[in-house]
Structure formats: C-alpha cells, structure tokens
Amino acid sequence: MSVEMETTVALLGRLSSFSELSTDELGRLADVAVPRSYEPGEVVFHEGDMGDSCFIVLSGSLKATHSHPDGRTIALSELRAGDMFGELAMFSGESRSATIEAIEETNAIALLGPDVRRLLIAHPDIAIKMLSSLADRVRTANRRIASQSFQGVASRVAGVLTSQVAARQAEGAAETHVRVQMTQADIAQLAGTSRESASRFLATLERAGVVELGRGKILVLDPEALQGYVY
C-alpha cells in the first residue's frame, strides 16, 4: 500500500461514518477514491448542478453557499479536513443544494455514487451515520445563521475570525500570530455582511493591533483580544 493510500485509509478510518470498517474495507474504499485538488476561488460544483458523488476534504478549506433569488449569496458553512460534502444530492438524485468553493488550496477525494451505494448495501449502518453527519451540518448552519441575525457586523466578523483561529490552532497553529488564509470577501460572506462593512471593521482591528491585514490573508496577532469583540 502506497503512502498516499495509507494516508487516505487513515483519514477514512477517523470519520465516524466509516469508523467500523476493517482496514481491508477502508482500503477498497480508498482504492476507488478519486484525488481532487482546488485552487482558492475554484468551484467544486454549483448549486443546481446534477451530481452523483460525494467528497471528503483532506486539507485546506471550502465554503458552501446558497444563492437567494434577489441576488444575495448566503454562506451556509465552512468545510475543513475530515468533512464530507455532496452526499445529499448523491442520496436524493436531485440537483446540488449549494455551491462549494475553495477558500484556500484544498485537497480532497471524490467517492462516486455507485461505489458508495455498494458500500451502503454491505454496511447499512453507515448510511445512518452519514445522515447523522449531514444533520449535524444543517444544525450548525442553522445555529450560525440564527446567531448572526442578533449580532452586529463587528461581532459577526470577529466570530468568523475566531472560529478560523480555533480551527487552525486545532491543526497545530500557535496561540498567537495565527495566519488565516482567507480574503476579506470570504470573511464578509461567512459573516453575512458586505465586503465594505467587513473591511471597515478589519481596519479597526488592525489599528487596535489585533490583526495584521495582507493580500488574501489575515494574521491574527491577539486571538484573546479578538474574542472580546464577539457577543
């Protein structure tokens, strides 16, 4: 088994959906997984596309967005290493319910519908776990949208940055000077505000010495001070 295959098997085994599979079963699943890589801003699929595959993030991050009829784009969630997406359309046979776009350089694997369905026939309990994972994502998105409806711009933007810092610290980043590889437009979208409003608040944070702004990235100098803006 190659190093790349071993890495994929290890990642699949850490997912709750596949945790009860044997190493051989994980190996068979990894064997049919198709590697994918995406540059920042690259779209994996658009809302309304037809699709019969799901994806698992290996590294990097993506955002799921929904387009409103009035032209607004609403950010639903962020996806990071270990997250699965695309399974809703794969199960239902309907079109994609959201657009998925890479925030930073991202590596993922694609699992084709026929391969996943064969796995579910052999292990029906996995379907329940996959649906549970999907339900968790929906609940998280609902909580975030509900919370943002009661927050001002400053709190929403600070909240997005704080969650980014926490995710990167969980991946091994230091307690201070945490680099967030996101554009101000991405942050504004996840915060549910305009880019102009987000940029004004980020400039305020920079003047306060909380962050340092760069092209396509933000260095969070003082995560504790940043947390103080969230309410």
d(CA 165, CA 150): 22
Domain extent at residue 141: 3-148
Amino acid present at 193: T
The answer to whether residues 94 and 183 belong to one domain is no
The verdict on 67 and 124 lying in the same domain is yes
Instruction: For residues 119 and 73, state if they share a domain.
Output: yes
The whole-number pLDDT of residue 1 equals 62
Neighbours of 8 (CB within 10 A): 22
Tell me: do 96 and 195 sit in the same domain. Answer: no
pLDDT in tens, the chain (231 residues): 676 778 888 888 887 677 777 888 788 788 888 999 999 999 999 999 998 899 999 889 999 988 878 777 888 888 988 888 988 887 777 899 899 999 989 999 998 888 888 888 888 877 787 777 778 777 877 777 777 677 889 999 999 899 889 888 887 888 889 998 888 988 998 888 889 999 999 999 999 999 999 988 899 999 999 999 988
Last residue of a domain, one of 148, 180, 196: 148
Query: How far apart, in whole angstroms, are the C-alpha atoms of residue 179 and residue 174?
Result: 9
Cβ atoms of residues 86 and 47 within 8 Å: no
The C-alpha atoms of residue 58 and residue 79 are separated, in whole angstroms, by 10
Phi-psi region of 189 (alpha: psi -120 to 50; beta: other; left: phi over 0): alpha
Predicted pLDDT at 38: 97
pLDDT tens readout for residues 131-172? 777 787 778 777 777 776 778 899 999 998 998 898 888 878
Considering the domain architecture, whether residues 131 and 175 belong to the same structural domain is answered as no
Counting every residue, how long is the chain?
231
- Point out the domain boundary residue: 105, 121, 148: 148
CB 115 within 8 A of CB 29: yes
Q: Are residues 111 and 31 in the same domain?
A: yes
Q: How far is CA 177 from CA 87, 93, 208, 212, 221, in A?
A: 36, 45, 15, 9, 4
C-alpha–C-alpha distance, residues 121 and 150, integer Å: 44
Q: Does the global pTM surpass 0.85?
A: no
Strands 178-180 vs 217-220: parallel, antiparallel or unpaired? antiparallel
* Counted domains in the chain: 2
CATH number at residue 223: 1.10.10.10
Residues 55 and 110: beta-carbon distance below 8 Å: yes
- 101 and 211 share one domain: no
Q: Are residues 18 and 58 in the same domain?
A: yes
C-alpha 187/C-alpha 194 separation (Å) is 10
